[in-house]
C-alpha cells in the first residue's frame, strides 16, 4: 500500500511554529526538487535555534562539498559550549561524499545537537539507512515540484496564509506569469503586497496585471477560455500575440492546454456515465480546478464532446513533440506552431 501523501505546506507550518517556540528535533532531512519549503524550514531553524551570543561556538554552517561524513559525526557528538544546544547545518548535503554514513549517527543522535541536512534539488534514497533513521529520530521534509495545474491552488492557499484573498482568475494569471517556482511567487507576492493600498486584503486580476507585469488579455488562461467557447477570432488573436512574446515557451503552453483538455475529456466521460454527477465525483475529475471555473468546463464539454476531446488530446501530444524539436523537417517558429495548433483545435 502506498504511503499517504504528506501536505508539505501544512507540515512546514507546524514545524515553523515549533521552531519559533524553541521546539527542535535532533535531525532534519530537508529535501526535494522544489527548494522553497526546505529553504524556509532551514532558515527558520538557523534564526531560532541558537542565541546570537552563543553562535560563535555553537553554530556550524557548512556545505556538503567541503566536509566529510566523519567530520560531521565528530562535531555532532560534541557537547555545546555553555549553551543548551549546538546547531550544525549542512547545505547541499547531496554533494557530500559518504552521505549515507551519517545514518549511524542519525539512528542515535545527541539530544543537545540539532543537525540539519539540506539537499537542494535532490532527495535521499528512501530505501537506504539514512532516510529510515531520520524518519525514526527526526523529521523528513520532502518537497516535490508542483505541477502546472496545482499552482493556482497553491497560490490561493499561500495568499490565505498571508491574510489575503486572491481572486481565482488572479491566481491563475499570477501562476501563468511567474511559473511554478514557489520562491519567485513568494517574492512577487511580497512586492505586490507593498503596492496594495494600506489595509487592502483583496487581490484582483488588475492588481496582478499592474504589479507583476502580466496581461490577462494575452494569457494561456484566456486562450483556454476562448478555445472552450470555440471563439475562433479571439483564440487566434491571443495565440498570435502570445507567440511573439519574449517569454513564450511552446512546450509550456502545450503542457497547460493538455492538462485543460484532459480535464475536458475526463469530465465528458463522467457526464456520459452520469447525467447529474455528485459534487464529489465532479471535483475528482476536475481536480485542481476552483469551482469558480466549473461553468467554463460545462461549456467546454458541449463544444468538445468525447470524440473531439480525444482528438484534441492526440493533437496536443503531436504538437508537444514538434514544440520540443521533434521532426527535423519542421521549420516553423514556436509562435507559428501555437497558431497552427489553435487553428486545428478550433476545426475539430
Q: pLDDT tens for residues 55-98? A: 999 999 999 999 999 999 999 999 999 989 999 999 999 999 89
Outline which parts of the chain fall under CATH 1.20.272.10: 218-346
pLDDT tops 60 at residue 3: no
Q: What pairs with residue 183 in β-bridges?
A: none
In angstroms, what is the C-alpha Rg of the chain?
A: 24
Where does the chain hold its CATH 1.10.8.60 domain(s)?
A: 148-214
The tens digit of pLDDT for each residue in 224-251 reads 888 999 999 989 988 888 877 766 778 8
Measured distance CA(88)–CA(55) in Å, rounded:
11
- 334 contacts: CB under 8 Å, gap ≥ 6: 243, 248, 249, 250, 323
β-bridge partners, 1: none
Q: Which has more pLDDT, 129 or 202?
A: 129
Do the Cβ atoms of 63 and 92 come closer than 8 Å? yes
218-346 has CATH 1.20.272.10 classification: yes
Superfamily of domain 8-142: P-loop containing nucleotide triphosphate hydrolases (3.40.50.300)
pLDDT at position 177 is: 75
Determine contact, residues 51/80, Cβ cutoff 8 Å: no
CB 138 within 8 A of CB 25: yes
Where in the sequence of the chain do the CATH 3.40.50.300 domains occur?
8-142
CATH topology of domain 148-214: Helicase, Ruva Protein; domain 3 (1.10.8)
Query: Which residue intervals of 165-305 are DSSP H helices?
Result: 168-178, 182-195, 205-212, 220-228, 232-242, 250-273, 279-285, 294-303
Enumerate the β-bridge partners of residue 62. Answer: 90
Cβ atoms < 10 Å from Cβ of 227:
25
Amino acid at each position: 500500500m502506498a504511503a499517504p501523501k504528506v501536505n508539505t505546506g501544512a507540515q512546514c507550518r507546524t514545524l515553523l511554529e515549533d521552531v519559533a517556540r524553541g521546539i527542535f528535533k535532533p535531525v532534519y532531512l530537508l529535501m526535494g526538487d522544489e527548494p522553497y519549503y526546505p529553504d524556509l524550514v532551514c532558515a527558520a531553524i538557523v534564526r531560532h535555534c541558537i542565541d546570537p551570543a552563543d553562535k560563535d561556538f555553537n553554530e556550524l554552517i557548512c556545505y556538503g562539498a567541503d566536509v566529510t561524513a566523519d567530520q560531521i559525526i565528530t562535531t555532532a557528538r560534541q557537547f555545546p559550549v555553555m549553551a543548551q544546544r549546538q546547531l550544525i547545518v549542512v547545505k547541499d548535503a547531496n554533494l557530500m561524499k559518504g552521505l549515507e554514513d551519517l545514518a549511524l549517527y542519525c539512528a542515535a543522535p545527541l539530544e543537545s545537537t540539532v543537525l540539519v541536512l539540506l539537499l537542494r534539488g535532490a532527495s535521499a534514497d528512501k530505501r537506504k539507512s539514512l532516510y529510515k533513521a531520520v524518519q525514526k529520530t527526526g523529521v523528513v521534509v520532502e518537497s516535490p515540484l508542483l505541477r502546472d495545474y496545482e499552482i493556482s491552488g497553491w497560490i490561493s492557499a499561500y495568499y490565505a496564509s498571508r491574510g489575503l484573498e486572491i481572486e481565482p482568475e488572479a491566481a491563475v494569471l499570477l501562476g501563468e506569469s511567474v511559473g511554478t517556482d514557489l520562491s519567485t511567487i513568494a517574492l512577487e507576492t511580497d512586492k505586490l503586497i507593498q503596492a496594495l493600498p494600506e489595509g487592502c486584503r483583496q487581490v484582483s486580476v488588475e492588481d496582478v496585471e499592474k504589479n507583476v507585469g502580466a496581461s490577462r488579455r494575452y494569457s494561456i488562461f484566456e486562450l483556454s477560455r476562448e478555445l472552450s467557447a470555440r471563439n475562433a477570432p479571439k483564440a487566434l488573436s491571443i495565440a498570435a500575440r502570445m507567440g511573439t512574446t519574449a517569454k513564450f515557451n511552446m512546450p509550456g503552453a502545450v503542457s497547460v492546454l493538455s492538462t485543460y483538455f484532459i480535464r475536458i475529456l475526463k469530465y465528458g466521460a463522467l457526464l456520459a456515465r452520469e447525467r447529474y454527477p455528485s459534487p464529489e465525483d465532479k471535483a475528482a475529475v476536475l481536480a485542481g480546478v476552483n469551482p469558480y471555473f466549473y461553468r467554463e468546463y460545462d461549456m467546454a464539454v458541449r463544444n468538445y464532446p468525447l470524440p473531439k476531446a480525444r482528438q484534441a488530446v492526440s493533437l496536443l501530444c503531436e504538437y508537444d513533440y514538434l514544440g520540443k524539436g521533434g521532426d527535423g523537417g519542421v521549420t516553423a517558429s514556436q509562435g507559428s506552431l501555437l497558431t497552427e495548433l489553435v487553428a486545428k483545435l478550433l476545426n475539430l
